[in-house]
């Protein structure tokens, strides 16, 4: 089978072109979207993600603020910081880089972010809006990126049987809600599988579109795949590799070599979903600015 590789970079570039167009309009009206990223502690992966977000803001010309707090920052200090950002009119999007150190209560922190600035889409108000097909909310960025890849791939979502392995709010569950919504990019028949799902390979092999968001390298093998399926690999896993400069390489949740020959289309890792997450964060931040300014204009 001639398998299409759905590459994130080309699709992310399209999203950035749209972002720049909207940014031009906003700037002409005197508005500059601002994103604040809050990093607690010194986890190298989190620091790298925050760095990429900051660089992309600079490249596009968004206002960007990085707040760094020490590993032992208290819940009170973190929440005080969020409240300050909530009140700052130059900031339209707030992202708290997860995971937080274990002494901090992530849910309580997310609850403190103003839903109108919650560009990561994890506040209960935004998750509720996602469930209610209310387009005024923000959906989480990785699911939005996966949906956009499926739309751009052009093989259709409406009416298709989608199986998502993974039920986190950050990825699996939210993507399920997004693809289930009525309207463009939705109308799928969605199954969400997880570690307790029985006969997982059998369930997965019924999918027209299979999404893996598990966090286990190479977990999805060819027996999970229906011939001609579209496969989206969200997983980003480090595996030791003495031949690599950094001593490790990144692999997905899908065993690409075994699975790709059976698929109509598949996303690679790296080079697939990863770059889409930042693109959708930029898009959400610009939309947050537009919505804030329209709200201001109405008041
Ligand atoms: P998570 O919160 O750990 O959730 C993992 C999910 O996989 C859980 O629902 C878990 O089931 C399920 N699972 C684990 N082992 C399983 C098994 N043996 N069989 C079936 N299901 C199993 O992880 P996450 O935050 O959703 O992230 C998933 C992956 O995506 C990770 O590799 C992460 O690095 C990656 N990721 C990538 C991006 C990106 O930008 N590309 C963004 C976010 C995450 P239970 O609920 O039953 O435990």
State the angle between helix axes of 141-153 and 273-298 in degrees (0 to 180), rounded to the nearest 10.
Answer: 110
Hey, which residues are catalytic here? 53, 97, 120
pLDDT of 57 > 80? The answer is yes
Q: Does ligand 1 lie within 6 Å of residue 171's CB atom?
A: yes
CA 252 – CA 120 distance, rounded (Å): 22
CB count, 10 Å around CB of 84? 12
Q: Does ligand 1 lie within 6 Å of residue 278's CB atom?
A: no
Which tokens go with 103?
């002494």
- Name the residue of 193, 196, 231, 234 to mutate for ligand 1: max ligand atoms within 8 A of Cβ: 234
Work out whether strand 161-165 and strand 230-233 pair parallel, antiparallel, or are unpaired.
unpaired
Q: Which atom of ligand 1 is nearest to the CA of 276?
A: 40
Distance from the CA of 3 to the center of ligand 1, in angstroms?
25
Which tens digits make up the pLDDT trace of 71-100?
999 999 999 999 999 999 999 999 999 999
Q: Does ligand 1 lie within 6 Å of residue 234's CB atom?
A: yes
| Ligand 1 atom 30, closest CA | 235
- Rounded to the nearest angstrom, the gap between the alpha carbon of residue 92 and the centroid of all alpha carbons in its chain is 18
Which tens digits make up the pLDDT trace of 135-177?
999 999 999 999 999 999 998 999 999 999 999 999 999 999 9
Which tens digits make up the pLDDT trace of 220-272?
999 999 999 999 999 999 999 999 999 999 999 999 999 999 999 999 999 99
Q: Does ligand 1 lie within 6 Å of residue 201's CB atom?
A: no
HEC string of the chain equals CCCEECCHHHHHHHHHHHHHHHHHHHHHCCCCCEEEEEEECCCHHHHHHHHHHHHHHHHHCCEEEEEEECCCCCHHHHHHHHHHHHHCCCCCEEEECCCCCCCCCHHHHHHHCCHHHCCCCCCHHHHHHHHCCCCCCCCCHHHHHHHHHHHHHCCCCCCCEEEEECCCCCCHHHHHHHHHCCCCCCCCEEEEECCCCCCHHHHHCCCCEEEECCCCCCCECHHHCCCCCEEEECCCEEEECCCCCCCEEEECCECHHHHHHHCCEECCCCCCHHHHHHHHHHHHHHHHHHHHHHHHHHC
Which tokens go with 9?
């970079």
> What mean pLDDT is reported for the chain?
96
Distance from the CA of 22 to the center of ligand 1, in angstroms?
33
Q: How confident is the model at residue 298 (pLDDT cuts 50, 70, 90)?
A: low
Distance from the CA of 20 to the center of ligand 1, in angstroms?
32
CA 126 – CA 138 distance, rounded (Å): 6
Q: Does ligand 1 lie within 6 Å of residue 237's CB atom?
A: yes
Q: Does ligand 1 lie within 6 Å of residue 163's CB atom?
A: no
pLDDT of 27 > 70? The answer is yes
Q: Does ligand 1 lie within 6 Å of residue 238's CB atom?
A: no
- Above pLDDT 90, what percent of the chain? 95
- Above pLDDT 70, what percent of the chain? 99
Distance from the CA of 173 to the center of ligand 1, in angstroms?
10
Distance from the CA of 166 to the center of ligand 1, in angstroms?
5
CB count, 10 Å around CB of 299? 5
| Ligand 1 atom 41, closest CA | 274
pLDDT of 299 > 70? The answer is no
Average pLDDT over residues 58-79: 97
Backbone angles phi, psi at 186, to 5 degrees: -130, -145
> What's the whole-model pTM score?
0.96
Q: Does ligand 1 lie within 6 Å of residue 173's CB atom?
A: no
Span between the terminal Cα atoms of the chain, in Å: 57
């Amino acid at each position: 089978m001639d398998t299409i590789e759905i590459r994130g970079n080309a699709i992310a570039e399209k999203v950035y072109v749209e972002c720049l167009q909207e940014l031009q309009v906003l700037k002409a009206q005197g508005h500059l979207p601002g994103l604040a990223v809050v990093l607690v502690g010194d986890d190298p992966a989190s620091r790298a993600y925050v760095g990429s977000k900051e660089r992309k803001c600079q490249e596009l010309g968004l206002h960007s603020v990085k707040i760094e707090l020490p590993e032992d920052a208290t819940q009170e200090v973190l929440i005080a910081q969020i409240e300050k950002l909530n009140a700052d009119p130059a900031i339209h999007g707030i992202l708290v880089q997860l995971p937080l150190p274990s002494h901090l209560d992530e849910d309580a922190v997310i609850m403190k972010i103003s839903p109108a600035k919650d560009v990561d889409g994890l506040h209960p108000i935004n998750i509720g809006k996602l469930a209610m097909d209310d387009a005024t909310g923000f959906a989480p960025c990785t699911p939005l990126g996966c949906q956009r890849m499926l739309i751009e791939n052009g093989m259709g979502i409406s009416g298709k049987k989608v199986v998502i392995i993974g039920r986190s709010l950050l990825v699996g569950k939210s993507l399920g809600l997004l693809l289930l919504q009525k309207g463009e990019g939705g109308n799928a028949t969605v199954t969400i599988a997880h570690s307790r799902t029985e006969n997982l390979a059998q369930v997965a092999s019924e999918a027209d579109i299979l999404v893996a968001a598990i966090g286990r390298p190479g977990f999805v093998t060819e027996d999970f795949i229906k011939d001609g399926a579209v496969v989206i690999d969200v997983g980003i896993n480090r595996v030791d590799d003495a031949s690599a400069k950094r001593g490790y390489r990144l692999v997905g949740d899908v065993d690409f070599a075994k699975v790709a020959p059976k698929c109509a289309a598949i996303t690679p890792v790296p080079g697939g979903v990863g770059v889409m997450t930042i693109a959708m964060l930029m898009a959400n931040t610009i939309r947050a600015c537009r919505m804030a300014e329209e709200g201001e204009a109405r008041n």
